[in-house]
Amino acid sequence: MLDETVNFCKTNPGSNLRDIRFVVFNQDQALTAAFKQEMDKLQPKQTSLPAFTTFTRGIRSFFGWKKTVGTLGVSIEVLQGDLCRETTDAIVNITSKDLNMDSAGKLSETVKQLAGPQVETELKQFGQQSGGTALITSSGNLPTQKIIHLIPDTNNKDHLQQCVERCLRLAETHSLGSISIPAVGTGAFHVSAVDSASLIFKALTNFSGSFRSVRKVRIVIFESPMLSAFQQEHQRHSFSPQVGVAQRITLTSPFSIEVINGDLTQENSTDAIMNINSTDMNMNNAGDLSKAIARQSGPLVQQECNQLGKQPPGTAIMTSGGNLQVPHIIHIIPGSSDKQHLQQCLEEGLRVADANNFQAISIPCVGAGGYGLTGADSAQLTFKALNAFSARCKNIQKVRVLVFQASMMQEFLQEQKKQLVQGIEEDSDSENAVARQTRRRGRRQAPGQSDEHSVRIFVIGKDKASVGKAVESLKKGFSDACTMEKVETDVVSQLFDKQKDILRKKAKDRDVKLEIEDDVDRIVVRGGPTEVSGIVGEIWKEINERTKKKQEEEQAKLVSKNIEWSYEIQGIQMAFAPKANARIELAHSKDEHTVQVSLRGDKFVIDLKRNSGRGQTSGEQITLKRKVKGADEGIALPKHWTPMPSHDSTVHKVPLHPSSPEYQDVVRKFQATAGALNIQRIERVQNPHLYQSYMVRKQKMDKDAGGNSERQLFHGTDAKNINHINTHGFDRNFCGSRGTAYGRGVYFARDAQYSVACAGGGGGRQMYFAKVLVGQYCVGDPSMIVPPPKNPSKPEILYDSVVDNQSNPSIFVVFFDNQCYPEYLITF
């Protein structure tokens, strides 16, 4: 097989095939050893055959080294390959403080050459950097999405380890799912392969508690002699070829069981995790698992435990999940290491989860920690508890067994297999099996049944005609008694798995048949008319909930396209995720002093007056910056503008001469609706940055709507706001006492007379005559923070503005800062 593959690569050097894998069953040790021996022979002595080199690297990258570090819960792969060919969400490049990619080593030079000039241009905008920082840019022509540029300044191993951790943190900040890392330090810093492998795995271990979005890390080694050092270090962190692989079976029970090597504190797909606590409910007095959960969940959970007080042995009690990614923790309180007692404790914890209508729960290896049980004993009592509990289970559909120590995986998998074999043997005795199944759970499908809603009816009569007549009568009766309804919307395929599970359970409870057809966005319900009507109402409830969440997500993305909130920590400037960005912008628009967001595995309280924040658990300090996106320096300024006083001038107010056509045009439009008010002066507001940002949005809106998106409208304001508006543009915080009737945006009037009432008092009242991009609009309401969707089935496409009256609008409200420009300031 290998000879034929090598011959193909040699004779087809132009082939697009880049990765060939031979999959060998991991328990066939003889065959595995034979493949490894043959592949070692194929390792090239030189790199003169590109196709051959690619082939052998492809095999190497797969064979035996794709494992998960159990303590991390993240897939870690060690492979020989080319970093620039990686298709993960980001690769890590090593560069210098001056960000010159040509002088930072071979890796940086290659990245620049293959990515194209765009990346270096983007990188150099950051300017000179200090050692130890990390920056992120686009990927140019590379197949990855982002490039994280690491800037070490010494070959100190601790320093390089911290640099790797900084890359991981930056990947988490940008919600990346996977990252590829080179052999850090082995180039210009002359670190050995052994030391490089050690520091990278130390960084991964140190960062393990902070992994949220990153689920895969690939360590890509370019030079084959270094590979063994990284493989050996990897072996020290992972022990079994089955590590991290979920084994799922369904026993004679109503729920599926998954056995997974991983970290219970990192669970995010179930309703609750189970903790083993002490009778005094002090999580730090229990075992290592409880202490780890206490650290990750934060002080709130321990406070709840304190309020619950001392608990008797053998009980189970529930708290919130605190900072964990699951909403609940079920604490079981054993009183001894007796296996029977521990089994009963586990059953009690499962009953609490079931009584709270949970669909899925994650449990640990009960007794394998402080109670001193072996992995085999823990596995045995776990599956006995699951088997005993299954007869009384009403709601739970999935149980995940998290095995923290990779060395115990084999015992749990063997016990799981044993239970599966026993279940099959029971089912083989059909009559007894049916009786047992019926006694244990009346609703469970019996062997041989193809559908739990199917019923076999035998009709017996004196002759064929009588039987046929009876069958037709039955069919008509069934047809009259049974109805079918379809729910069709493109949101069906977007429902969360948990929502689908809820609908299936409710359909089962109502004794109706429900089929979810994702491929055609349809749900079909069959059953009694009353029951079908009820379940259809539940379906629309879940669809509306998903639509609402999607609208919130799309609105958050839209806000992020126009407004970017970023924070600086440890000298690194990073953007908030879209959801947090929208949350902060909403609080800013409401002129709220503080807002709370999730960041870096902590809850941060943001002070919007001081533009700072602090982590409630970590105490970390951050500073904030708000930026209006979209300005394009390539857009020409109006020809009639007066030259700016200096190159770095932000704003320039130019008084218009009363005899100029420009002045007369503004006066005419103002007095047409304001009456004969005495105008003292009119000034043109020249702010290049605001104008260019406005024009970028105008060009896009004109393209989308075919033009006609702009109007000239009036906006009255207090004198104290003038400098701010001239410099930063219109702000929703200055919308005034009448500014929330149609939404929390910036208000403009068609008629100057309306804005007169909003202008400040005194002898010099002021009003703007502004350019406003109103586009397509609808009627607003006070609750709006962005315009509503034009079509509920496409929540990402919003109206451009809202108005007081759709057929004859006199008030316009816009929600994004670059949607309006303060062109003229009228003082009267």
Question: Band of the pLDDT at 181, cuts 50, 70, 90?
Answer: very high
How large is the average pLDDT for residues 528-536?
A: 84
Query: According to the model, what pLDDT value does residue 433 have?
Result: 41
Domains and CATH numbers, the chain: 1-11+19-39 (no CATH), 75-239 (3.40.220.10), 256-421 (3.40.220.10), 559-628 (3.30.720.50), 652-827 (3.90.228.10)
Question: Band of the pLDDT at 183, cuts 50, 70, 90?
Answer: very high
Rounded CA gap, 776 and 566, in Å? 31
DSSP class of residue 149 equals E
User: Percent of the chain at pLDDT above 90?
Assistant: 28
Element (H, E) at 331: strand 328-333
How large is the average pLDDT for residues 627-642?
A: 67
Q: How crowded is residue 502: how many other Cβ atoms within 10 Å of its Cβ? A: 17
Question: Band of the pLDDT at 638, cuts 50, 70, 90?
Answer: confident
Radius of gyration of the chain measured on its C-alpha atoms: 33
Q: Are 102 and 117 in contact, with CB atoms under 8 Å apart? A: no
Query: According to the model, what pLDDT value does residue 392 have?
Result: 80
How large is the average pLDDT for residues 692-696?
A: 85
- Tell me the pLDDT tens digit for each residue of 352-376: 999 888 999 999 999 988 888 998 9
Rounded CA gap, 445 and 437, in Å? 8
Rounded CA gap, 191 and 225, in Å? 14
Give residue 39's identity as a one-letter amino acid code.
M
Beta pairing partners, 602:
599
Rounded CA gap, 717 and 696, in Å? 26
- pTM value > 0.85: no
Tell me the residue length of the chain.
Answer: 828
Kindly give the pairing relationship between strand 710-717 and strand 66-69. unpaired
Question: Band of the pLDDT at 827, cuts 50, 70, 90?
Answer: very high
Query: According to the model, what pLDDT value does residue 421 have?
Result: 52
Query: According to the model, what pLDDT value does residue 562 have?
Result: 64
Three-state secondary-structure class, residue 64: coil
Question: Band of the pLDDT at 456, cuts 50, 70, 90?
Answer: low
- Tell me the pLDDT tens digit for each residue of 184-196: 999 888 899 999 9
pLDDT of residue 117 exceeding 90, the answer is no
Q: Of 136, 89, 133, 140, which is closest to residue 111 (Cα–Cα)?
A: 140
Query: According to the model, what pLDDT value does residue 586 have?
Result: 79
How large is the average pLDDT for residues 33-45?
A: 63
For the record, the structure tokens of 572 come out as: 């690194």
| 501 vs 793, higher pLDDT | 501
List the single range of 228-237, 494-503, 604-613 with lowest mean pLDDT. 228-237
Query: According to the model, what pLDDT value does residue 587 have?
Result: 81
Q: Are 499 and 545 in contact, with CB atoms under 8 Å apart? A: yes
List the single range of 99-108, 113-122, 453-462 with lowest mean pLDDT. 453-462
Q: How crowded is residue 589: how many other Cβ atoms within 10 Å of its Cβ? A: 20
Element (H, E) at 273: strand 272-276
Phi and psi, residue 436, nearest 5°: -65, -45
pLDDT of residue 431 exceeding 60, the answer is no
pLDDT of residue 454 exceeding 90, the answer is no
pLDDT of residue 548 exceeding 90, the answer is no
pLDDT of residue 219 exceeding 60, the answer is yes
Question: Band of the pLDDT at 12, cuts 50, 70, 90?
Answer: low
How large is the average pLDDT for residues 294-308?
A: 91
How large is the average pLDDT for residues 583-610?
A: 85
Q: Are 656 and 682 in contact, with CB atoms under 8 Å apart? A: yes
pLDDT of residue 619 exceeding 80, the answer is yes
How large is the average pLDDT for residues 14-35?
A: 65
Strands (E), 139-224: 146-151, 178-181, 216-221
Rounded CA gap, 539 and 486, in Å? 10
Q: Are 801 and 814 in contact, with CB atoms under 8 Å apart? A: yes
pLDDT of residue 605 exceeding 70, the answer is yes
Rounded CA gap, 127 and 334, in Å? 59
List the single range of 31-40, 425-434, 490-499, 811-820 with lowest mean pLDDT. 425-434
